[in-house]
DNA sequence: TTTGGTTAGTTGTATAAACAACTATATGTC
DNA sequence: GACATATAGTTGTTTATACAACTAACCAAA
């Protein structure tokens, strides 16, 4: 069954992820305004470390859907900002375990608050059950393609 | 009304646009496999020129949600690939009008077919009315933030 | 213990995005 | 017409992504 649900302009929006780009831009602006010297991509790495500290770069790749070079460089930059530290694993010396610094721990609450605020602005006026359906559809899309 | 519809992991997916990244990657792979030497970003510019040829770089900015430097460089690269030509406007000599070459015109049918195919794969198993709701929610998100 | 394959991470290169600063042209007002 | 201001596009810089090629460490089988 081919489902040609998309008129041309809508096809374009879906492929380009217009909505998520708008969310990311708004979040970045809020970070800047708040004086958080952090890119969204860097934040997304910290996000997973706040959930579980001391995971490997490979685990960060899986969690953030990025390839290894991308994580290498994001960790490079986070290290320069003194927000994380690479510690090579005793158990497997190929692995780097990535640990948050004190400074990064302090950023969690504020930045997560800003992220929630941004999502609330994005979804203002959308009934909960429609948000739920949207989330489910996007999850299926991801599962279909992964 | 604050709508905290998001458990943490879902917040992350929404912000990062996991689904649209997956769509873009799949589309890029299909382009590569088909021997189309084209990035998704370049395709997105051609997309608007296929709808209307000879528009200005500024109009391309508005259509693609990119800033002026981004379009300058995308047009640079498309010109190197001999897919578009800059023609400075007679009416307003500040403006470049961007025209498709023969070669670019030939790419329309094939690449649009691949894009539709990709979306059909992405949305496989999702009922039409749920797709409709999802599109509407994403449009509201965009309108809320723009 | 050696060999061969796998996994973790890095480096090189090309493309792209965001922001700031810039040039050139146009336009509206006096 | 001259000046201030706005608009179209370019260039420089930093950050990020994707892919390929690479090194180092691990592991399993002979």
Any atom of strand C under 7 A from CB of A34? no
Task: Judge: A3–B126 Cβ closer than 8 Å, yes or no.
Answer: yes
A42, two tokens: 């860097």
Does the C-beta of A57 come within 7 A of strand C? yes
Q: Report the protein residue whose CA lies nearest the C1' of nucleotide C16.
A: B70
Contact between A14 and B23 using a beta-carbon 8 Å cutoff? yes
Query: φ and ψ at B96, to 5 degrees?
Result: -100, 130
Tokens representing A81 are 């900002």
Q: How far is A102 from chain B (nearest CA, A)?
A: 22
| Helix ranges, B1-146 (H) | 8-16, 18-33, 40-51, 57-64, 68-80, 102-122, 128-145
Distance from C-alpha of B114 to C-alpha of B120, rounded to nearest angstrom: 10
One digit per residue, pLDDT tens: chain B, 146 residues?
444 545 555 778 888 889 999 999 999 999 999 999 999 999 999 999 999 999 999 999 999 999 999 999 999 999 999 999 999 999 999 999 999 999 999 999 999 999 999 999 999 999 999 999 999 999 999 999 98
Supply φ then ψ for residue A48, to 5 degrees.
-75, -30
> Which domains does chain B carry?
8-114 (1.10.10.10)
Residue A96 three-state SS: strand
Residue A136 structure tokens: 């489910």
Q: Name the 3-class secondary structure at B55.
A: strand
């Amino acid at each position: 069954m081919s489902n040609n649900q998309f008129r041309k302009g809508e096809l374009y929006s879906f492929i380009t992820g217009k909505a998520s780009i708008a969310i990311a831009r708004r979040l970045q602006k809020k970070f800047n305004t708040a004086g958080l010297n952090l890119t969204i991509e860097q934040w997304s790495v910290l996000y997973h470390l706040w959930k579980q500290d001391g995971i490997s770069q490979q685990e960060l790749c899986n969690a953030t859907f990025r390839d290894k070079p991308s994580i290498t460089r994001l960790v490079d930059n986070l290290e320069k900002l003194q927000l994380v530290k690479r510690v090579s694993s005793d158990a497997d010396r190929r692995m780097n375990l990535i640990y948050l610094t004190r400074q990064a721990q302090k950023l969690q609450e504020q930045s997560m608050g800003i992220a929630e605020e941004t999502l609330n602005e994005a979804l203002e006026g959308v009934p909960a059950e429609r948000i739920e359906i949207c989330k489910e559809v996007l999850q299926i899309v991801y599962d279909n393609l992964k």
